[in-house]
Amino acid sequence: MATLEIRDLHVTVEVENGTKEILKGVDLTVKQGETHAIMGPNGSGKSTLAYSIAGHPKYTITQGTVTLDGEDVLAMEVDERARAGMFLAMQYPVEVPGVSVSNFLRTSATAIRGEAPKLRTWVKEVKSAMEQLQMDPAFAERNVNEGFSGGEKKRHEILQMELLKPKIAILDETDSGLDVDALRTVSDGVNRVRETGEVGTLLITHYTRILRYIKPDFVHVFAGGKIVESGGPELADTLEAEGYEKYTKGGAAV
């Protein structure tokens, strides 16, 4: 069973006048089959955590470890991490001009699976996954994320999650910018993957809304660059009622 272990993770970014530490010692273990919600105020470092695990070059790891089944994730190239079973649904998916969605998906699936998927079954697979996410088939011929609305980009991210079947999926504010119907559609997509029991999900969000559709096993409060409290699903209800104030007061703030 795949396990992602994050230990004492410290991360900095280069800012105009020097180096700024954003993650200040994150500890977290996510096992295949589990769903963890990470909730925290804007600017607390949630995306930084997601990007650092995925290997974005902008972030420098200064301390700590990230392992997947004992393998050193931080030593891997970005593409190796993905092939090892990590997936990041981005808060702001990137436009890639000149590359069609269908070409992108197939290239990616080929890389992840280690061989090109059989064309006939592949076409069906993509088509039905798109249908379930209520994506117009015309998207397949459009360039990756180019001119997609916020909601369309998020559906496209979850489409990839469904096709790539990661061991560990990090969903960075997949709920933001979605109306209620879209939220339900996207959540259904995530749940289909979760129901296989084969993915460990790290659901990053600002709001409790999505937790009505995707039930977490654990909830973590993220503030000031680290996890400040962990609990069960009931912690989300407390946050809903009380907000983040008690975590951002008294120096814990970003």
Ligand X SMILES: Nc1ncnc2c1ncn2[C@@H]1O[C@H](COP(=O)(O)OP(=O)(O)OP(=O)(O)O)[C@@H](O)[C@H]1O
Q: What are the residues binding Mg ion (CB under 5 A)?
A: 46-47, 91
Residue 15 interacting partner from another protein, ligand X, Mg ion, none (CB closer than 5 to 8 Å by kind): ligand X
* Residue choice 32, 35, 48, 145 for contact with ligand X (CB under 6 A): 48
Residues that bind another protein (CB under 8 A): 54-57, 77-79, 81-83, 87-88, 90, 93-100, 103-104, 107-108, 111-112, 143-144, 160, 164
d(CA 250, CA 32): 36
Residue 75 interacting partner from ligand X, Mg ion, another protein, none (CB closer than 5 to 8 Å by kind): none
Query: Is 52 an interacting residue with respect to ligand X (CB under 6 A)?
Result: no
Tell me the pairing of strands 59-68 and 218-223: unpaired
Cβ closest to ligand X, residue 13 vs residue 111: 13
Integer angstrom CA distances of residue 107 from 49, 54, 136: 27, 19, 21
Q: Which of 53, 58, 45 is nearest to 206 (CA)?
A: 45
Q: Which stretch binds ligand X (CB under 6 A): 35-43, 64-72, 137-145, 155-163?
A: 35-43
Q: Which residue has the tokens 């560990």?
A: 168
Task: Answer yes or no: are the C-beta atoms of 135 and 149 closer than 8 Å.
Answer: no
Cβ closest to ligand X, residue 15 vs residue 180: 15
Q: Which of residues 76-95 bind ligand X (CB under 6 A)?
A: 91
d(CA 204, CA 68): 19
For 246, residues 6+ apart whose C-beta sits below 8 A from its C-beta are none
Which residues form the interface with ligand X (CB under 6 A)? 13, 15, 22, 40, 42-48, 58, 91, 173, 206, 254
